Amino acid sequence: MTEQAQWRAATPQALAWRRFDDEIVIYNDATGSTHQLGALASEVMLSLIQNPSGMDLRALVGALTARVEVAADLDVAIEVQRALDDLTELHLAARAPA
Partner 1 sequence: MTVASRPVLGQVACTASAITSINMQSSINHNCSITSGLSPEKWKTLAAQWPTPYSGAGSATGTTSTTTTTTTTTTTRINSNQLLQQQLAGGGTSSTSSTTTSGTSSPYTSGGTTSPYTSGGTTSPYTSGTSSPYYAATSPYYAATNTATMYHCPTTGLGGHVFSQKTMLEVIDVTTGGLGSLGRYTVAALLNARSGRTPMLSETTVRAMWNDLLNRGYYEPTAGIRWGAAEIVAYIKTTIA
Partner 2 sequence: MIVSELPDGELHRLLGRSGLRLRLGPIVANIASPFETVEAALALHYASHEVLPDSEFADFHVAVDPVPGLRRWIRPQAYFRFDANPPFNPLAASQAFPLLEWGLNWCISAHCHQYLIIHGAVVERAGRALVMPAPPGSGKSTLCAALVARGWRLLSDELTLIDVETRRFVPLPRPVSLKNESIRIIAEFWPEARMSPVVHDTLKGSVAHVRPPSASVQLADQTAVPGWIVLPAFRAGEPMALTPLAKSTGFMRLVENAFNYSVLGRRGFDILADVVAASDCREFRYGGQLNDAIAVFDDLARVR
Contacts with partner 2 by CB under 8 A lie at 16, 18, 20-21, 23-25, 27, 29, 32, 34, 36
Which own/partner pairs from 16-19 qualify as long-range (CB within 8 Å, at least 24 positions apart)? 17/45, 17/46
Number of residues that bind partner 1 (CB under 8 A): 53
Going by C-beta distance under 8 Å and a sequence separation of 6 or more, which residues neighbour residue 23?
36, 37, 38, 39, 42
* Given 38, 59, 62, 88, the residue binding partner 1 (CB under 8 A): 38
Partner whose footprint covers residue 95, from partner 1, partner 2, none (CB < 5 to 8 Å by kind): none
Q: Write each residue from 51 to 90 as x if it is in contact with partner 1 (CB under 8 A), else as -, in one continuous string.
A: xxxx---------x--xxxxx-xx-x--xx-xx--xx--x
Residue 94 contacts residue 7 (beta carbons within 8 Å): yes
Which residue, 4 or 18, has its beta carbon nearer to partner 2?
A: 18
